[in-house]
Structure 1
Amino acid sequence: MSHLTLPRPDYLAMIEPYIDAPLVKILTGVRRCGKSTLMGQIADRLRERGIDQRHIIRYSFDSMQYDGWSAAELYRQLSDALPSTDADDSERAYLFLDEVQEIDGWERVVNSLMSESSVDIYVTGSNSRMMSSEISTYLTGRYVAFRVFPLSFREYLRFCDEYGTGDGDGDTHRRLGGYIRRGGFPATCLTAYTDDQVYAIVRDIYNSTIFTDIVRRNSIRKVDQLERIVRYTFDNIGRTFSAAGITKYLKSQNRSIDAETVYSYLRKLESAYILHRCSRYDLEGKEILKTQEKFYLADTSLRYAVLGYRPDSVAAMLENLVYVELLRRGWQPYIGKIGTAEIDFVASKQDRVMYLQIAQTLGDQSTRDREYGRLLSIRDNHPKYVLCTDEYAEGNYEGIITMHVADFLLSDEW
């Protein structure tokens, strides 16, 4: 099986029902998370349906070939590339536009082609500006968006088994350690790389994101200032902090920066999908709080590639894994506040709610009292979980489910 064709069935199952629907299919996510490969797999499905290869047209706009192109140039190029078609679906063209956000005004081009041609359009982008007001203006009601993430733990195990990477001993609890350290960028799971080689690949992803998607696109001059904020944030994953706290820290390092600039940099890191912001939710007041958010990484390997590996970071990275898995499955996670105590995650999905506490180990009584006690203080019947990495952690304590983090990530029960 080719490195390029190991399918990601969960995403394909989400996208396939929209093939031939009069909607632009937009795939967004951090660089190198697999968006382009998914587009290739959709094209494969079209060929399996008997679509003529001449009607499957693909462009990658992160190539220098298109540097500086205008929307008008893009429109002419794509119009000329489309085969002569009529309204007959058998003559429909399928257009795949990779990293299309590199061209300003792409939304107008896509809107025009949708109106003028028999064409089914798929686009990818690595910046949340893909979902900006421009889309609302030109594509209202005419697009469907899919958020693509790096490999889940289930996908990571499948990739490692397919390509002979990872330890492959079948012990999923033990293999969770490899997933934490090495992360889920598909490119790192295709060959039996060492950890250092994995981090070299991830640093390249990080650098191209920082310097292409953030520094160059936003004309940032104080790159060292941005990198210090990145390092501070990466080092404080899973902790509440504020822009004022970062400002105070940098001032102690003889680096002057105002809080608004810090917020601006954090927003840019979010836009590039490097960071996810998690707000706090007051369980008693039933409101989202605007201060003391937490941030989580798109992939745990980013922390280790930038800061190096430290065993004391594992607890925060377990939290990070659970947070991203919640997003991947369509849940909206918040940090729960109940009185002066904190619940690691309150997650909602339509009319469903669940509460989660995450601990590296439940080895001592004070930890167990804290983790279970906070959940017991919530007086409702929604599912409550304590997740940890203790080898034999499973069971039910006064209605609270205890699970190994690896088992939770692989479970279909939530």
Structure 2
Amino acid sequence: HIQVLQGIRRCGKSSLFKLLINHLTQNADPRSILYLNLDDPFFIQYANKPEALYEVVLLAEKLTQTKIQYVFLDEVQSIVGWEKYVKSVYDSQQFLKIFITGSNSSLLNSELATLLTGRYIPLQIYPFSFQEVLHMHDIHSRLEMSQQLPKILKIIDDLMHYGSFVEILEAPLTLKRKIIASYYETILFKDCVSNAGIRDIKGFKELTFYLITNLATLYSYSSLARGTNISDVSVKEYIFALEASYLCTELKQFSFSLKEQASSKKKLYLTDNAFVRLTYGFSENYGRLLENLVFAELQKRNAEIFFYNKGYECDFIVKSQAGLRAIQVCYAVNDQNQAREMNGLLKLPFEVTDRFIITYNQSMSLDKVQVVPFWEYFGY
């Protein structure tokens, strides 16, 4: 099968490729492995010439005097019509294995899905999870977490404010914001504007900034249109482009009726907290930062996520084979907000298996509700 790695730019797809290549070289001739970064400026001249990939492979074989057996195509969406090339070499069994990465979900659009039906295995890649970040810090168990709580809380603070892209995690504080801004601009222009053919770049950027500034708040396409002077149709198209780039995810209201889900207001969350740094005032809203971080962790667990907001609000309804789990996110539970958070969990008009309030660092047991700190819920 063709292995397809998908995910937001800089989340580690290319690094995973290199690990796979290192693994292959243990048993295969390194000269039989070809890695092509199609995002490289060299390939701009071939952006509309997928047939040039045949020539590149032939050239590699001529230079190495070795048959290419494994081909890695990084950022494959850079070549228009790449899927026809991949289908051709797959059907002719030219290689033992084909690996592909892409930074846009349109990679697996209907045309590609039709061409490569049954031929590919998709794998979603994300920036590091909380557990992976703990591993980076040499923390490997629940016991070690509880013994190093101040360090754990510092890690969570950093994740809330700077996200979990590896390069940003390792960068000095003075460079973090510059790297985030660079990622953001690349995603907006290469994966949104270019891929979706967006012409009103100013309007698109303004809507994106507005959505990030108003993270996790209810909206309809018409309300966004009124607030930004962009048409309803364009608003919908722009959000679709943002989702396709993996920058964010639009959540629907939970309902057993698909029609009601489609017609209800939506909420938007970012794939990674890093991009919240691009809005100044919002970066001190710890409740929203924690809420987005919880969303990002749930997403990395491949959860099907909704929200509920009818009379009472529940931040996340998580659907799995075990049933529905209701989750509120509250930085710190106190006398002023406890009733509101509890009502959002206890007054749901449908059955749930579990009810949680995820906090920054509080733990208690309330009526039918477990209050747990972030590190305990998502850690080991």
Q: Please confirm whether the aligned pair reaches a TM-score higher than 0.5, indicating the same fold.
A: yes
Structure 1 residue 79: deviation in Å?
Answer: 5.1
Alignment partner of 1:159 out of 136, 142, 145: 136
> Which ranges in structure 2 are unaligned for 5 or more consecutive residues?
140-147
Alignment partner of 2:55 out of 76, 84, 88: 76
Measured at CA, do residues 285 and 188 of structure 1 come closer, stay the same or move farther in structure 2, by a change above 3 Å? closer
Structure 1 residue 173: deviation in Å?
Answer: 2.5
1:388 and 2:359 are equivalent in the alignment: yes
C-alpha distance after superposition, 1:273-294 (max 9, x if no partner): 1111111113699963433111
User: How many angstroms apart in 2 are the aligned matches of 1:208 and 1:311?
Assistant: 22
Other-structure match for 2:38: 61
1:313 and 2:282 are equivalent in the alignment: no
Structure 1 residue 317: deviation in Å?
Answer: 1.8
- Where 1:221 maps in the other structure, the secondary structure is coil
User: Is 2:161–2:283's contact at 8 Å kept on the other side of the alignment?
Assistant: no
Alignment partner of 1:275 out of 248, 258, 262: 248
Measured at CA, do residues 350 and 142 of structure 1 come closer, stay the same or move farther in structure 2, by a change above 3 Å? farther
1:372 and 2:351 are equivalent in the alignment: no
Other-structure match for 1:243: 221
C-alpha distance after superposition, 1:216-236 (max 9, x if no partner): 334433222111101100011
1:213 and 2:191 are equivalent in the alignment: yes
User: Is 1:113–1:119's contact at 8 Å kept on the other side of the alignment?
Assistant: no
1:97 and 2:79 are equivalent in the alignment: no
Structure 1 residue 34: deviation in Å?
Answer: 0.7
Structure 1 residue 131: deviation in Å?
Answer: 1.0
Other-structure match for 1:145: 122
Measured at CA, do residues 401 and 82 of structure 1 come closer, stay the same or move farther in structure 2, by a change above 3 Å? farther
Letter in 1 for 2:358: L
User: How many angstroms apart in 1 are the aligned matches of 2:235 and 2:258?
Assistant: 29
User: How many angstroms apart in 1 are the aligned matches of 2:115 and 2:61?
Assistant: 21
Letter in 2 for 1:171: K
Q: Percent identity?
A: 25
Letter in 2 for 1:313: N
Other-structure match for 1:400: 369
> Which ranges in structure 1 are unaligned for 5 or more consecutive residues?
1-22, 84-90, 163-167, 251-255
User: How many angstroms apart in 2 are the aligned matches of 1:284 and 1:370?
Assistant: 26
Other-structure match for 2:145: none
Alignment partner of 1:346 out of 299, 317, 322: 317
User: Is 2:325–2:352's contact at 8 Å kept on the other side of the alignment?
Assistant: no
User: Is 1:128–1:273's contact at 8 Å kept on the other side of the alignment?
Assistant: yes
- Where 2:9 maps in the other structure, the secondary structure is coil
User: How many angstroms apart in 1 are the aligned matches of 2:149 and 2:312?
Assistant: 40
- Where 1:71 maps in the other structure, the secondary structure is coil
Residues matched between the structures, number: 365
Letter in 2 for 1:207: E
Structure 1 residue 190: deviation in Å?
Answer: 2.7
User: How many angstroms apart in 2 are the aligned matches of 1:175 and 1:218?
Assistant: 36
- Where 2:118 maps in the other structure, the secondary structure is coil
Letter in 2 for 1:119: L
User: Is 1:126–1:272's contact at 8 Å kept on the other side of the alignment?
Assistant: yes
Q: CA RMSD in A?
A: 2.5
Measured at CA, do residues 248 and 97 of structure 1 come closer, stay the same or move farther in structure 2, by a change above 3 Å? same
C-alpha distance after superposition, 1:267-313 (max 9, x if no partner): 11111111111111136999634331111112111121x21254542
User: How many angstroms apart in 2 are the aligned matches of 1:342 and 1:95?
Assistant: 49
User: Is 2:36–2:74's contact at 8 Å kept on the other side of the alignment?
Assistant: yes
Q: Which moved more, 1:59-68 or 1:286-295?
A: 286-295
Length-normalised TM-score, structure 1: 0.82
Q: Which moved more, 1:149-158 or 1:98-107?
A: 149-158
C-alpha distance after superposition, 1:314-336 (max 9, x if no partner): 21121111112111111100012
- Where 2:254 maps in the other structure, the secondary structure is strand
- Where 2:264 maps in the other structure, the secondary structure is strand
Structure 1 residue 38: deviation in Å?
Answer: 0.7
- Counterparts of residues 403-414 of structure 1 (less than 5 Å): 403-411=372-380
User: How many angstroms apart in 1 are the aligned matches of 2:365 and 2:58?
Assistant: 61
Structure 1 residue 237: deviation in Å?
Answer: 0.7
Letter in 2 for 1:94: Y
User: Is 1:386–1:400's contact at 8 Å kept on the other side of the alignment?
Assistant: yes
User: Is 2:326–2:352's contact at 8 Å kept on the other side of the alignment?
Assistant: no
1:111 and 2:87 are equivalent in the alignment: yes
User: Is 2:152–2:375's contact at 8 Å kept on the other side of the alignment?
Assistant: yes
User: How many angstroms apart in 1 are the aligned matches of 2:234 and 2:241?
Assistant: 11
Letter in 2 for 1:354: R
- Where 1:171 maps in the other structure, the secondary structure is helix
